[in-house]
Amino acid sequence: MEISDTPDVVDLLDKVLNIAIKITESKYGYIYRYDEQKRQFILNTWSKDVHADCKVVKRQTTYDLDKTGCWGEVVRQGTPFLLNDYSSKNEFVKGIPKGHIEIKKILAIPVSSNNEIAATIGVANKDFDYDEGDIRQLTLLMNATWKIVEQKDYEEKLVIAKEKAEGSDRLKSAFLSNISHEIRTPLNGLLGFSRLLSDDRYDEIDKYKFLQNINQSGERLTQTIDAMIDMSIIDANLIEINLSIISVHDLLNALTAIFKPEAEKKGLEFICTNTEDVKIQVDEYKLKTVLSNLIQNSLKFTEKGKLELGFNSYEDSNEFFVYDTGIGVPMTQQAKIFNLFEQVENDYTRNFQGIGLGLSIAKAYVEAMGGGMSMESVESDPESGVSGWSIFKVAIKNHIKIEAV
């Protein structure tokens, strides 16, 4: 069971360590949590005398089990470890770093949870030898303490889970309300303008405009349904990756052909930066969906200036990016901009069409392809004259192979 570093847990273990030092009449003490999977110790606390006496410049807070000295024996042997003669002649002693406190005697106890070692407590430099009595006292103290630690951790996680559930329910309720609007609006457009086509009071010019509105409403409805299907696949953890070798040059040119006319219609400059033509192995449909979502997002929030679509290749990754000179993203929103359903409660985007799924879908697809997404942004501020901008980066790593064309 992984224990969180909540203030209550840290404070409790600090107090318990002080008790352990007193009841064993030791000078120093420590408590480390232990990660069985990583075979690694994570420091919880040292006694305050260690801070005062230890002169090691670079003090570590994590230690790999395989690199520890005698104090790691408590995990390697799985039993209390007692050493009353800490000298270079002892087989378990591997020496100590320069400036470290002088160790004369040491006692360490394992703390078990669900048949795994969850932590260790150690004390050092008692004036007399450590004995079985010290082992019993430390064992009883830590067994009782760890039950409290697990209970506190469990309660903390329940609170967090409750808050997340409530937040998720609130977002989903708002999402359902928003999705209803996003479906009804284009559907009403389709039905309404379809009826007007059969009305003889309108001439051919009017009916052509009606057909344009029907087409726009149909595209908007299709986009909404596609986003809902993508969301369902992601939510059910059913994303499948179908790799193929594609040309970056062809992909970016195809996206430019689709979105450049829309950008120019808004008076925006659309730039495609593609200085080198390479081939990459990737899921073409998902990558195209990701970049399309990013471009559509930039078009939605950019009223003047430009959009730039580009690609950079590095030794261990391929990076696509979409840059815009739009309104930017407030600092308060940047941490949650990729969260599912987040737009629906966001005043910042309420004046724009959309169901708030595009960036979430993009992030899920990128991660399924072994990559990651990031963004940087500055919010526009007309009063101070600050111009807004955003850049979204898509890095696809590991399994991608770059070949010169």
**What is the length of the chain?**
405
Co-location of 259 and 350 in the same domain: yes
pLDDT in tens, 184-206: 777 787 888 888 888 888 888 88
Instruction: Look at residue 60 in the predicted model and tell me its pLDDT.
Output: 56
Instruction: Look at residue 260 in the predicted model and tell me its pLDDT.
Output: 93
Instruction: Look at residue 218 in the predicted model and tell me its pLDDT.
Output: 81
Nearest residue to 101 (alpha-carbon basis) of 137, 63, 136, 51: 51
> The CATH number of the domain where 218 resides is what?
1.10.287.130
58-70 exposure pattern, b = at least 16 Cβ within 10 A, e = fewer: eeeeebeeeebeb
Residue where a domain stops, chosen among 158, 190, 208: 158
Co-location of 314 and 333 in the same domain: yes
Instruction: Look at residue 398 in the predicted model and tell me its pLDDT.
Output: 45
Segment 369-384 shows an average pLDDT of 87
Share of residues in the chain with pLDDT > 90 (%): 19
Beta sheet of 106-113, edge-to-edge order: 62-64, 40-46, 28-35, 116-124, 106-113, 81-83
- Token pair 């959009």 is found at 307
Query: For residue 24, is it within any domain?
Result: yes
Helix axes 248-265, 284-301, angle to 10 degrees: 20
Share of residues in the chain with pLDDT > 70 (%): 79
Instruction: Look at residue 146 in the predicted model and tell me its pLDDT.
Output: 85
Residue where a domain stops, chosen among 181, 215, 235: 235
CA 53 to chain centre: 39
Virtual torsion, Cα 17, 22, 27, 31, nearest 10 deg: -10
Co-location of 154 and 168 in the same domain: no
Of 13-17, 39-43, 253-257, 349-353, the one with minimum mean pLDDT is 349-353
Name, in order, each residue with C-beta under 8 angstroms of 162's C-beta and a sequence gap of 6 or more. none
Instruction: Look at residue 88 in the predicted model and tell me its pLDDT.
Output: 56
DSSP type of residue 328: -
Residue where a domain stops, chosen among 123, 143, 158: 158
Co-location of 49 and 27 in the same domain: yes
User: Per-residue pLDDT for 345 more than 50?
Assistant: no
Reported pTM: 0.50
User: Per-residue pLDDT for 350 more than 70?
Assistant: no
Q: State the residue range of the domain holding 372.
A: 244-404
Query: For residue 363, is it within any domain?
Result: yes
Q: What is the rounded CA–CA span in Å between residue 402 and residue 249?
A: 13
Instruction: Look at residue 309 in the predicted model and tell me its pLDDT.
Output: 95
User: Per-residue pLDDT for 278 more than 70?
Assistant: yes
Co-location of 124 and 249 in the same domain: no
Co-location of 278 and 389 in the same domain: yes
- Comparing 176 with 56, the larger pLDDT belongs to 176
Structure tokens at 270: 């659309």
Nearest residue to 130 (alpha-carbon basis) of 203, 172, 80: 80
Q: What is the rounded CA–CA span in Å between residue 117 and residue 123?
A: 18
Query: For residue 124, is it within any domain?
Result: yes
Which residues make beta-bridge pairs with 344? none
Instruction: Look at residue 386 in the predicted model and tell me its pLDDT.
Output: 84
User: Per-residue pLDDT for 222 more than 90?
Assistant: no
User: Per-residue pLDDT for 100 more than 50?
Assistant: yes
Instruction: Look at residue 356 in the predicted model and tell me its pLDDT.
Output: 56
Nearest residue to 256 (alpha-carbon basis) of 269, 272, 276, 267: 272
Instruction: Look at residue 7 in the predicted model and tell me its pLDDT.
Output: 73
- Comparing 359 with 54, the larger pLDDT belongs to 359
Instruction: Look at residue 37 in the predicted model and tell me its pLDDT.
Output: 83
What mean pLDDT is reported for the chain? 79
Co-location of 90 and 195 in the same domain: no
Q: What is the rounded CA–CA span in Å between residue 339 and residue 359?
A: 8
Segment 275-291 shows an average pLDDT of 86
Co-location of 153 and 170 in the same domain: no
Confidence grade of residue 180 (pLDDT, cut at 50, 70, 90): low
Co-location of 12 and 149 in the same domain: yes
Segment 308-334 shows an average pLDDT of 87
User: Per-residue pLDDT for 325 more than 90?
Assistant: yes
